[in-house]
Structure 1
Amino acid sequence: MFWLADKRCMNHIKHGHIYSHFGLEFILYLVELLREGLCRRTQRSRAISPEVQVLAALGFYTSGSFQTSMGDTIGISQASMSRCVSNVTRALVEKAPQFITFNRDPSSREESFQEFQRVAGFPGVIGVLDCVQVAIKAPNSEDSSYVNKKGFHSVGCQLVCDARGLLLSAETCWPGGLKDTVVLERSAFYKQVQDTEEGWLLGDRRYPLRKWLMTPVDCPESPAELRYNLAHSATHEIVDRTFRAIQTRFKCLDGTKGYLQYSPERSSSILLACCVLHNASLQSGLDAWTLERTDPLEQPESLEQRPEDRDSQAEDLRRQLILKHFS
Structure 2
Amino acid sequence: MAFALPVWLAVQEELLAYGGEVDPESPSCFDDFDDEALFQMFHLTRPCIAFITDSTRIRMKKVALKKPTLPVDAMVMVTLNYYAHGVSSAAIQQRLRLSQNDCLSIICTVSGVIAGMADQFISFPLTRAARTNVALKIEKLCGITDALGVLAAAHFKIRASPYEKDTFRSFVNTLGYTSVVSQFICDSDGNILSVEKCCVGSTFEQDLWESSFKGREMEDELHGQYWVIGGSSYNLSKHVLTPVSEPANEKENRFNQAHAKIHDVMRITLGSMKRRFRCLMQLGFAQEGSLDKKSNIIKACSVLHNISKKFSVPPPPVVGKIEPLHPGRQHSVPIQINPEALKARQELIDCNFSVASSRQDPPSETVTEEDL
> For the superposition of Structure 1 and Structure 2, which TM-score range results when normalised by the shorter chain?
0.7 to 0.9
What aligned pairs does 1:176-195 form with structure 2 within 5 A after superposition?
176-195=201-220
Query: Take 2:205 and 2:338, find their aligned partners in 1: how far apart are those partners?
Result: 18
Letter in 2 for 1:28: A
What aligned pairs does 1:125-274 form with structure 2 within 5 A after superposition?
125-138=147-160, 143=167, 144-196=169-221, 197-255=224-282, 259-261=283-285, 263=287, 264-274=291-301
Shift of residue 102, structure 1, vs aligned partner: 1.6
3-state SS, counterpart of residue 43 of structure 2? helix
- C-alpha distance 52-224 of structure 1, shift in aligned 2 (>3 A): same
Pairing partner for 2:52 from 25, 30, 38: 30
After alignment, is 207-216 or 101-110 more displaced?
Answer: 101-110
Pair 1:286 & 2:312 matched: yes
- 2:126 aligns with 104
- C-alpha distance 316-82 of structure 1, shift in aligned 2 (>3 A): same
3-state SS, counterpart of residue 181 of structure 2? strand
Contact preservation (8 Å) 1:208, 1:305: no
Shift of residue 199, structure 1, vs aligned partner: 2.1
Q: For residues 230-282 of structure 1, what are the alpha-carbon distances to aligned partners after superposition, in whole Å with 9 as ceiling and x for unaligned?
A: 00100111111111111111000124xxx424553311211111111112222
Shift of residue 109, structure 1, vs aligned partner: 1.2
Letter in 2 for 1:100: I
After alignment, is 16-25 or 128-137 more displaced?
Answer: 16-25
Shift of residue 12, structure 1, vs aligned partner: 3.9
- C-alpha distance 267-67 of structure 1, shift in aligned 2 (>3 A): farther
- C-alpha distance 311-288 of structure 1, shift in aligned 2 (>3 A): farther
Q: For residues 12-69 of structure 1, what are the alpha-carbon distances to aligned partners after superposition, in whole Å with 9 as ceiling and x for unaligned?
A: 464243567221111111111111444643546xx10001000110000011224656
3-state SS, counterpart of residue 227 of structure 1? helix
- C-alpha distance 274-298 of structure 1, shift in aligned 2 (>3 A): closer
Shift of residue 153, structure 1, vs aligned partner: 2.1
Query: Take 1:147 and 1:195, find their aligned partners in 2: how far apart are those partners?
Result: 32
Query: Take 1:77 and 1:115, find their aligned partners in 2: how far apart are those partners?
Result: 48
Q: For residues 107-153 of structure 1, what are the alpha-carbon distances to aligned partners after superposition, in whole Å with 9 as ceiling and x for unaligned?
A: 11111121111212222211100001101121696623222222322
Shift of residue 313, structure 1, vs aligned partner: 0.4
- C-alpha distance 90-303 of structure 1, shift in aligned 2 (>3 A): closer
Structure 1, unaligned runs of 5 or more: none
What aligned pairs does 1:49-60 form with structure 2 within 5 A after superposition?
49-60=71-82
- C-alpha distance 199-6 of structure 1, shift in aligned 2 (>3 A): closer
After alignment, is 171-180 or 71-80 more displaced?
Answer: 71-80
Shift of residue 193, structure 1, vs aligned partner: 0.6
Q: How many residues align?
A: 320
Pair 1:41 & 2:78 matched: no
- C-alpha distance 81-10 of structure 1, shift in aligned 2 (>3 A): farther
Letter in 1 for 2:127: D
Pair 1:83 & 2:101 matched: no
- C-alpha distance 184-66 of structure 1, shift in aligned 2 (>3 A): same
Contact preservation (8 Å) 2:267, 2:325: no
Structure 2, unaligned runs of 5 or more: 1-22, 355-372
Q: For residues 148-194 of structure 1, what are the alpha-carbon distances to aligned partners after superposition, in whole Å with 9 as ceiling and x for unaligned?
A: 22232211010001111111110141111111111111111111111
Contact preservation (8 Å) 1:245, 1:291: no
3-state SS, counterpart of residue 309 of structure 1? coil
- 2:31 aligns with 10
Query: Take 1:180 and 1:288, find their aligned partners in 2: how far apart are those partners?
Result: 30
- 2:327 aligns with 300
Letter in 1 for 2:311: G
Alignment RMSD, CA only?
Answer: 2.8
Query: Take 2:352 and 2:332, find their aligned partners in 1: how far apart are those partners?
Result: 26
Letter in 2 for 1:209: L
Letter in 1 for 2:258: A
- 2:364 aligns with none
- C-alpha distance 36-165 of structure 1, shift in aligned 2 (>3 A): same
Query: As a proportion of its length, which structure holds more helix?
Result: 1
Letter in 2 for 1:277: L
After alignment, is 312-321 or 295-304 more displaced?
Answer: 295-304
Contact preservation (8 Å) 1:207, 1:215: yes
Letter in 1 for 2:105: R
3-state SS, counterpart of residue 127 of structure 1? strand
Letter in 1 for 2:352: H
